[in-house]
Amino acid sequence: MSSLRPGSVCDTTPLQRFESQSSSGEEPSSPTAASIIAAAAAAAASTTSTSNPHNLNNNNNVKLDLQLPTFVGSSGTGTGAGAAPGLGTGLANGPGSIVSGKRQLRGPTKILGRILLDLCMLSCVGLPMLGFSLWGEPSKRGFFCNDSSLKHPYKHSTIRSWMLYLMCGALPFSLIILVEFFRCQDKRLHGPFKSLKTRTGSGYHLCHLELPYWLLECYRKIGIFIFGLGVEQLTANIAKYAIGRLRPHFYTLCQPVLWDGSNCSHPMNAARYIEEFTCGAADMNAKRLKDMSLSFPSGHASFSCYAMLYIVIYLQRRMHWPRLRMLRHFLQFLLLMFAWYTCLTRISDYKHHCSDVLAGAGIGITYAVVVTSTLW
């Protein structure tokens, strides 16, 4: 039996009997089970007698011609026999999106919405940092006149701020962009889906062009890097302004004068704890006075440790080419050495105490591990 057509399985005899009884005024009788079975057997016999002899040899391969239901929102542009409606190409599916085949491309509206959401999250971290920098006042902390840890000379920083931003900002961005670009090219040329060009697409389109997948990955990795960096710096700034620890070069830079006009060179003030004082240095200004009380924790140490450890973990997870394994380890070594050297110079330049550097490095390492654990 090759096919079972619903129209061929019907009992015409009970219907004719029902019409004759209705015309004669008799009470119509319900068809019995025996009459229904007999009608079905007769219909099956008539179908078998009219079928093709070639189909009689394939009784085990019964094919049911089923019509697929129309999907909600489909436009009925399916092609080919048995094609499901609504699976055509180039279908509009609401504002800001395009359906290409079975993949939905997100348009400029989706891109703008995602960027605005990320900017709102970053502003929640950046605005408090800006507030600390513009209007924040560190806690005023006293000192002992015989405290030798505050009498170190003033030196300029070995690792300047622009060097720190270059190594911990521009370098990570460049490495992430290069690695993601070459990963995408490698998958496109040698991956299991190298014949499918849509595998390299991101699902987002701009100006009728689909953005490459590696660009989306760069946006994700760099965005998370910046967010973690902001959280790490905000944590360090909260500690700086809440504790207000004096830097090792405090005496040299401030030359404190006590409320009674004396200074720390007087023998009577040797063991005194001084809280009320003013800076007698001629070149003292409000910015330097504020910076003197921001020793704990080290911002340079936390910044460098976070950025370098983030990139080290990123290279370990994403740079999988066997021929470049030694290059990966060499880059990781250089990055860690930069963070280590930065921490050491903050002590040798008398910008921070040892405990300040240890606390800053701990903050940076903690956030680097936590943030990278959410990437994979």
| Active site residues per annotation | 300, 352
Beta bridge partners of 257: 263, 278
**Chain centroid to CA 301:** 25
Phi first, then psi: what are they for 201, rounded to 5°?
A: -85, 155
CA 295 to chain CA centroid, nearest Å: 33
Please, which residues have CB within 8 angstroms of residue 22's CB and are 6 or more apart in sequence? 28
Q: How far is CA 308 from CA 128, 364, 369, 370, in A?
A: 24, 9, 11, 14
| Rounded-to-integer distance, Cα 305 and Cα 169, Å | 12
Count of helices and strands (H, E) across the chain: 12, 9
Residue 221 near residue 233 (C-beta atoms within 8 A): no
Task: Assign 107 to helix, strand or coil.
Answer: coil
User: How distant, in Å, are the alpha carbons of 125, 154, 253, 262 from that of 265?
Assistant: 44, 19, 15, 8
Angle subtended at Cα 28 by Cα 27 and Cα 30, rounded to the nearest 5 degrees = 130
Number of C-beta neighbours around residue 302 at 10 A: 30
Give the bridge partners for 105, in sequence order: 98
